[in-house]
Amino acid sequence: MDDVTLVYLVQHGEKEPLPGDPGLTRRGLEQARLAGRRLRGLGISALYSSPMRRARETAEGIASVTGLTVRCDARLRERLNWDGGLPFDAFMDLWARTMRDRDWEPADGESSRQAGMRLREFLSGLADTPGPVAAVTHGGVTVDLLRNLLGDDAVPLAQVMAAGIPPCAVTAVDDPAVVMIASPPA
């Protein structure tokens, strides 16, 4: 990986439990503002977001505190998204298969390894950006990146697979070291 600036990967806030592209709950909106206060204290100089609504709303909450402009980047999107076309249990089975077999590509998605490489490309593209930078993304693709960078043995897979990355938790990547994994909001 090329040299990158310090990047805080922020899990989106709590979302509505709906298929498609749901927004944040009231609690999720508050989580976003709290994340904004935390990130402002860390001196972020730029703010990026996945184009998915829950991530954009989180980034907007952060922007309301930091005064930064949100820049959307499709490389921050999730690997798979439940659109309601499959029953939720069938979607979760599909998700679990992609976690077990990192090179398997579902019909409407990409493999876990590919998604991690996509996020890594985003990070590499920030090489000349004065940092630190915050990027609101999703738990699955963040875990995919960590697995690519660190290997499965170094990622707390049981924790992040069973419970997921907590809303607005921060994972920090710095040149290309992983500094922090899923640190819950302060």
Q: Tell me the mean pLDDT in the region 88-96.
A: 93
Q: Is residue 29 part of a domain?
A: yes
Distance of alpha carbon 39 from alpha carbon 73, whole angstroms? 19
The pTM assigned to this predicted structure is: 0.94
Report pLDDT for 91. 93
Contacts of 119 (CB under 8 A, 6+ apart): 9, 75, 76, 137, 141, 142, 144, 145
Instruction: Look at residue 138 and give its three-state secondary structure.
Output: coil
Q: Is residue 1 part of a domain?
A: no
- CATH, residue 135: 3.40.50.1240
Q: Using alpha carbons only, what angle is made at residue 29 by residues 156 and 20, rounded to the nearest 5 degrees?
A: 75
**Per-residue pLDDT reduced to its tens digit, 101-160:** 999 999 888 999 999 999 999 999 998 888 899 999 999 999 999 999 998 888 876 777
- Specify the number of domains making up the chain: 1
**Residue 77 pLDDT exceeds 50:** yes
**Angle between helix 53-66 and 26-41 (nearest 10):** 50
Q: Is residue 2 part of a domain?
A: no
